[in-house]
């Protein structure tokens, strides 16, 4: 299987994961009034397809243990941890998409991914310490500061503005109910707490390495994707019948979607899983050049900055913003870049 052999190569993969994780939600926004519960069937399929393609291409190349051989010798407990990671992530991500549908991308990502960043980096560092703890802590503080500033800028800009929410299938959107903003924040917080827990489960799936019965990056991504795909049908039993927004749906409403809506769902899953595979692979590099899971996860969660840029430059979420809000947005970007820079160089200055 192909694994980066230099620190620069591993870092490039992590930056790729940040871009993918910060961009996939655009696929959902492009579907229009398509409900997130229905979008998610295609999304989970895209995740599984990406994992299979990577496993039988990059995971089967090179001189190291291949993907297929890795699965044969891997321990059942390691597989279970990876599978559990996919299930936990899936619930977190479904809640995140629900929050996007209720309160918008600019609320869901800063709040949800911000909390996930704090939970995930701390847990990952204790599981597998990599990098200078002072630089890592300072970087995390700056990134969290950027997330807070971004949320404050959004709040100041939007004020009491209403955000339309999608309804069943392809119908029209009803007026946003009162309290939807609080519901969106609540969903984001729950999502973030769960989102910060999935990466440590992935690390447990890797165990002490492939030589000790652990899963390699492509095998762990494959088991993870299986957990995502099959748990979607279980979790959607709840979301379809007790929706966070709109009327209950039948799963057969899925077949009312257009080819474009289904294609966008699969594309969103392919894009997210590409980022995940890049991240898992970078974190599995040789010890001499390893970025480390805590750093990999932290930079990957810089996806919040990427999603903010999509909102600013493409979706024009801050069109007509006041000078105060524009200053806050500039400060947010500076804090993010500074924080990610500190996190990136942390492994180079190990104490």
pLDDT for the residue 244: 84
Mean pLDDT calculated for residue range 28-41: 93
Q: What is the pLDDT of residues 246-263, one digit of tens each?
A: 899 999 999 999 999 999
* Residues 198, 86: Cα–Cα separation, whole Å: 7
User: Pick the residue with more confidence: 320 or 260?
Assistant: 260
Would you say residue 162 has pLDDT above 60? no
The first and second tokens of residue 21, run together, are: 């994780």
pLDDT for the residue 178: 47
pLDDT for the residue 175: 46
* Residues 213, 220: Cα–Cα separation, whole Å: 12
Would you say residue 159 has pLDDT above 70? no
* Residues 154, 184: Cα–Cα separation, whole Å: 14
Three-state DSSP class for residue 316: coil
Would you say residue 15 has pLDDT above 80? yes
Mean pLDDT calculated for residue range 218-236: 97
pLDDT for the residue 287: 80
pTM, two decimals, is 0.83
Mean pLDDT calculated for residue range 289-311: 75
* Residues 168, 250: Cα–Cα separation, whole Å: 9
Q: What is the pLDDT of residues 36-61, one digit of tens each?
A: 999 999 999 999 999 999 999 999 99
Phi-psi sector, 2: left (phi>0), alpha (psi -120 to 50), beta: beta
Mean pLDDT calculated for residue range 277-302: 81
pLDDT for the residue 181: 56
Count how many residues are written for the chain: 351
């Amino acid at each position: 299987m192909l694994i980066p052999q230099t620190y620069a190569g591993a870092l490039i993969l992590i930056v790729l994961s940040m871009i993918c994780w910060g961009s996939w939600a655009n696929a959902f926004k492009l579907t229009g009034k398509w409900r997130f519960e229905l979008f998610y069937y295609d999304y989970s399929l895209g995740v599984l397809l990406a994992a299979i393609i990577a496993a039988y291409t990059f995971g089967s190349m090179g001189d190291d243990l291949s993907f297929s051989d890795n699965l044969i010798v891997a321990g059942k407990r390691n597989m279970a941890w990876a599978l559990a990671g996919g299930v936990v992530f899936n619930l977190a991500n479904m809640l995140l998409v629900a929050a996007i549908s209720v309160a918008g991308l600019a609320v869901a990502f800063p709040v949800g991914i911000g909390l996930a960043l704090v939970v995930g980096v701390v847990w990952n560092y204790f599981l597998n310490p990599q990098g200078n703890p002072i630089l890592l802590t300072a970087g995390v503080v700056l990134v969290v500061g950027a997330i807070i500033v971004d949320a404050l800028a959004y709040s100041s800009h939007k004020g009491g503005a209403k955000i339309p929410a999608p309804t069943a299938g392809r119908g029209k959107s009803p007026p946003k109910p009162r309290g939807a903003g609080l519901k969106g924040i609540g969903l984001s917080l729950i999502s973030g707490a769960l989102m910060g827990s999935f990466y440590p489960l992935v690390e447990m799936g890797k165990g002490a390495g492939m030589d000790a019965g652990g899963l390699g990056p492509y095998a762990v991504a494959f088991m993870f994707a299986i957990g995502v795909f099959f748990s979607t049908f279980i979790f959607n039993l709840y979301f379809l019948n007790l929706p966070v927004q709109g009327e209950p749906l039948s799963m057969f409403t899925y077949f009312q979607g257009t080819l474009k809506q289904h294609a966008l769902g699969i594309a969103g899953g392919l894009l997210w899983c590409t980022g995940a595979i890049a991240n898992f692979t970078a974190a599995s590099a040789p010890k001499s050049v390893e970025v480390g899971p805590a750093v990999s996860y932290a930079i990957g969660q810089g996806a919040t900055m990427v999603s903010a840029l999509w909102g600013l430059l493409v979706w024009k979420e801050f069109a007509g913003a006041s000078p105060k809000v524009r200053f806050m947005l500039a400060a947010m970007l500076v804090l993010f870049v500074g924080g990610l820079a500190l996190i990136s160089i942390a492994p180079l200055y190990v104490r």
